[in-house]
Amino acid sequence: MDIDHLVPLAEAWDSGAYAWSAAEREAYANDLADDRALIAVSAASNRSKADQDPSTRLPPAVGYRCQYVTDWVADKTRWGLGIDAAEHAALTQTLEQCPDVPITVTLVR
């Protein structure tokens, strides 16, 4: 098992973390205050995901996709990270197939 960042560090960087201080980047990388930020995954799953966002990769387990994208949105919102057009389209398409589930977020930024 690996511990994986739900939103990969490279994706966070591309989405706005490049402008953060070193302390803010460290806090993001070690975020234990939100159970959705760091997830236990198989090593193979971690390698296949790499630094991709939902526009290029969704979990192979279809039953987990709603949870994955709602957690993705929550994590990005929590940290004030941006979502690009392709990512937005993929999230929207996936969420259209999900039941209405409220997403709670405690903002860090």
Separation between Cα atoms, residue 12 and residue 78, nearest integer Å? 12
- Beta strand spans in 17-74 (E): 38-41
Q: DSSP state, 24?
A: H
Token pair for 10 = 């490279």
Residue-wise pLDDT for 58-74, tens only, equals 998 999 999 999 999 99
Element (H, E) at 75: helix 65-79
To the question of pTM greater than 0.75 for the whole model, the response is yes
pLDDT of residue 46: 64
Render pLDDT for 48-105 as a digit per residue (tens, 0 to 9): 777 889 999 999 899 999 999 999 999 999 999 999 999 999 999 999 999 888 888 9
pLDDT digit string (tens) for 16-60?
A: 999 999 999 999 999 999 999 998 877 777 677 778 899 999 998
Residue entry with tokens 């290029």: 56
